[in-house]
Structure 1
């Protein structure tokens, strides 16, 4: 008998929706502060370097706990781990809103990320226990939409809240939904039992290794572009620590009898390819969320609210795609829907490459429409194709690894984009400067009638430098979008390597 046989369809949907709400606020908080870091820094009297840690600390803590969620759910059970995580996330959200200095904010954000991160993979696992057949496809579509929509909406919602209220409400808005999830989930999500005896046999060495590996890796990726990578002593030390711990973690995961993360699941072709596609979608999802607001802020001079409105179209088109995907997913091979999604994302990045300094929300509409459609058609089928073919007993740990790959792709995508912006801007600036010779007519018109060694001449030079730097920046953003396009083009042609997932069987009562 299924462990959820006692629940009515309505109760299953309500329980699943409650967990999805918890997942949504946990993912939303990754990016909700991104457009408001300047306001937070001003409110806490902190500089830009310290304020950046408001986002970095959350990401580091979240990426460490996600792969541990499978083991933790077996120890404490899914419902009590989710409820405790939701309660802790709500409490730390309150503390973030009440933070009295930047140090307290960073610590509270780290705790918030750690507690929120464990909720994300549990939603994936529960969906495959609650639903079968067509309902499972709809559940996967919902999860896929949330996984890509929540980070996309983060800057928009954050900018609106900060402009209309204050940055404190970026965190206070979590209190009501967090309290609801804390109460609702334990009442209905009874799919497994706690087994505290697993604490004695826990792979504590593996836990320590993965914490060092992922924590140091995330720090290296976040801070590397700012400090010129390995030229900085701290970055070099964390990179080496991550490398050594990562090698030992992989060895431990492949040789231990009960590893904290079951890397042997990667022997399954669909799971290995699904993790790769999850990694690539993470690059695209978080990379574009990073690049687009940055372009609008630095090049166009948009405010936080204007940036939010400009990028909102991505979310609108993704929401519009959900019913279309749900209808097609029951009629069309999911592999072809995945290929369409990845191809649409590739097309979106291609449409971004001719970007110019005067692009506004109007010019961004078409590429963002393709991105919104691509996100829905890329993420949702990947969930089903990757996790749908695994036996229920392996779902928990596999779900954590699958989600880790998306966040890891996002971290690497942001780091790569930041590096491109740093390095290629100088290259394009020097190439443009080489063309500023007496043969350049627009430049001659700028200096026409201006006498050397005067204030007007200095102002003209400053204006020329600003124009050149603006164009160099714009060309660099084009390079970054092109790099993401190449990643998605490679992923698109790899889709046929996946096997078609057979209709899943309902799990047995002892599968958990």
Structure 2
């Protein structure tokens, strides 16, 4: 028999983001990656865009004060379930496929939410919108860490950090002005045009990898079920625990037990199962574990700061939604200006110094709020936000870079989902603890003031006499009763201010502790800055 000639080797195409010569196709990468970043910005923005317009939404659909809070809560509850699941879906179906389906779902559910005529319908579609948003948030970061070469990952981290910090900061500003100019329904309709642009860019330029359909076999359904129960229970307890009195409420108590049990079972399942729905292997890397802890604190500092400052401006100073948005704009502008500078610092000196410096500046800026008074104006808040903005941005870029600095390439997608989940949970924990702390401390300060007045404090009696005389001059029927009522309102306001000051101090202490953790980081040497020749 005549021997057959060997078959020619099959042509193996280069990775989709490379040219046939093996070089990175940068125009394609930036357009595809830019589409993903825009989608991520939309998903994060929608967390806070309704914050300044809840009153208008409540009036528009006839909801109660308790029901309207679920417009935010349902979105967050659904979002945290999809964030860690996104990495598995991308490995199974490819990043582009998952992103296109998630963006399409986000657009459709945004339209449905904007057209909702009842609170029940709005909560349903808002939850579905959150499910789609959860798939959009971690994918951009994972793509950057797998497509960009190591010397360009700091730049990708800068862009990612800018989106994560800027979107929730400008959310109340954009939402407040949009509602005043058009209507609250446009808070959701605004997603249509950028969503279609995202789909075009990702469909045309976002083909960076291929999926592995075999992962559909042997899906860890038990892991998915326990993860969903764990995240939903934990998020609900954190969101609603403060307003319900924590463990005094039976539902909060049993959901806490469910979160603890399902959390333990979920971790055991992911470590024991051959094909886990969420890989926990990145935690074996010391730098990732430290970076995750710091992202938890930076999430608390970011979302906690965005939570406490508008609350003070609205409750104590009685600012309108537009005034709150204008004051909060300082944070967004500072973070936007700091992003490229922070990336260059991290690239020049490594992550350890920026971590300590960033958390230190954030602690100092937020700590200024510990002495907040009702007489503060725009410039006092501007200084606080400037230091906080610089510090949080620098710390977030450095902590994200630290988390992935020594991870192998095949763990980047899992790491991205975990980092985003940890940051969001950190924000939820921070806001829940802040709400409880400020409520308890305000009550404590009010009790101390009342005790001082009851002991016939001379200054208090002098003020009460002055208020009584003022009421007599105004011809009030019961001047002494009106004076006591006014004095009580003044005490409650001062106690509230002191409670906010304690909240600022708590956030500052957490940032300072995270800065100390940065000393234990063991990152690789910083990438050298490119040398520009001059003639």
TM-score, shorter chain, exceeding 0.5:
yes
d(CA) in 1 for partners of 2:198, 2:372: 42
d(CA) in 2 for partners of 1:502, 1:392: 18
- Please give the secondary structure, in 1, of the residue aligned with 2:319: coil
d(CA) in 1 for partners of 2:300, 2:469: 47
Q: Structure 1 residue 502: deviation in Å?
A: 5.5
Correspondence list, 1:33-432, <5 A? 33-432=50-449
- Please give the secondary structure, in 1, of the residue aligned with 2:523: coil
C-alpha spacing 1:151/1:450, structure 2 compared with 1 (3 Å): closer
- Equivalent pair of 1:75/1:195 in contact (CA under 8 Å): yes
Q: Which residue of 2 aligns with 1:446?
A: 467
Q: Which residue of 1 aligns with 2:479?
A: 456
- Please give the secondary structure, in 1, of the residue aligned with 2:349: coil
- Equivalent pair of 2:343/2:397 in contact (CA under 8 Å): no
Q: Which residue of 2 aligns with 1:472?
A: 495
Q: Structure 1 residue 129: deviation in Å?
A: 2.3
Give the stretch that moved more between structures: 435-444 or 267-276: 435-444
In the alignment, structure 2 segments of 5+ residues that lack a partner are: 1-13, 528-535
Residue 484 in structure 1 maps to residue 507 in structure 2:
yes
Q: Which residue of 2 aligns with 1:5?
A: 18
d(CA) in 2 for partners of 1:423, 1:87: 44
d(CA) in 2 for partners of 1:177, 1:389: 35
Give the stretch that moved more between structures: 428-437 or 37-46: 428-437
d(CA) in 2 for partners of 1:337, 1:501: 14
d(CA) in 1 for partners of 2:498, 2:139: 41
d(CA) in 1 for partners of 2:513, 2:269: 31
Q: Structure 1 residue 386: deviation in Å?
A: 0.7
d(CA) in 1 for partners of 2:514, 2:347: 23
- Please give the secondary structure, in 2, of the residue aligned with 1:428: helix
Q: Deviations over 1:130-158 (max 9, x none)?
A: 22244321111110111111111111111
In the alignment, structure 1 segments of 5+ residues that lack a partner are: 505-512
d(CA) in 1 for partners of 2:471, 2:54: 41
d(CA) in 1 for partners of 2:267, 2:25: 42
Q: Deviations over 1:394-423 (max 9, x none)?
A: 111121111110000011111101111221
Q: Deviations over 1:315-366 (max 9, x none)?
A: 1111111222233233221221122111111111111110001222221011
Q: Deviations over 1:103-140 (max 9, x none)?
A: 11111111111101111111111112222244321111
- Equivalent pair of 1:141/1:381 in contact (CA under 8 Å): no
d(CA) in 1 for partners of 2:105, 2:405: 30
- Equivalent pair of 1:18/1:184 in contact (CA under 8 Å): yes
Residue 497 in structure 1 maps to residue 520 in structure 2:
yes
Q: Deviations over 1:239-278 (max 9, x none)?
A: 1111111111111122222221222321110010111001
Q: Deviations over 1:158-181 (max 9, x none)?
A: 111112211111111110001111
d(CA) in 2 for partners of 1:500, 1:29: 34
d(CA) in 1 for partners of 2:457, 2:392: 48
C-alpha spacing 1:194/1:458, structure 2 compared with 1 (3 Å): same
- Higher alpha-carbon Rg: 2
- Please give the secondary structure, in 2, of the residue aligned with 1:331: helix
d(CA) in 1 for partners of 2:526, 2:93: 30
- Equivalent pair of 1:310/1:360 in contact (CA under 8 Å): no
Q: Structure 1 residue 71: deviation in Å?
A: 0.6
C-alpha spacing 1:163/1:379, structure 2 compared with 1 (3 Å): same
- Equivalent pair of 1:385/1:500 in contact (CA under 8 Å): yes
Q: Structure 1 residue 91: deviation in Å?
A: 0.8
- Equivalent pair of 1:210/1:245 in contact (CA under 8 Å): yes
d(CA) in 2 for partners of 1:438, 1:3: 77
* TM-score, length basis structure 1: 0.95
Q: Which residue of 2 aligns with 1:508?
A: none
C-alpha spacing 1:323/1:397, structure 2 compared with 1 (3 Å): closer
Give the stretch that moved more between structures: 55-64 or 323-332: 323-332
- Equivalent pair of 2:166/2:332 in contact (CA under 8 Å): yes
Q: Structure 1 residue 503: deviation in Å?
A: 7.5
Give the stretch that moved more between structures: 391-400 or 470-479: 391-400
d(CA) in 1 for partners of 2:428, 2:243: 14
* TM-score, length basis structure 2: 0.91
- Equivalent pair of 1:133/1:503 in contact (CA under 8 Å): no
Q: Structure 1 residue 454: deviation in Å?
A: 4.6
d(CA) in 2 for partners of 1:438, 1:493: 44
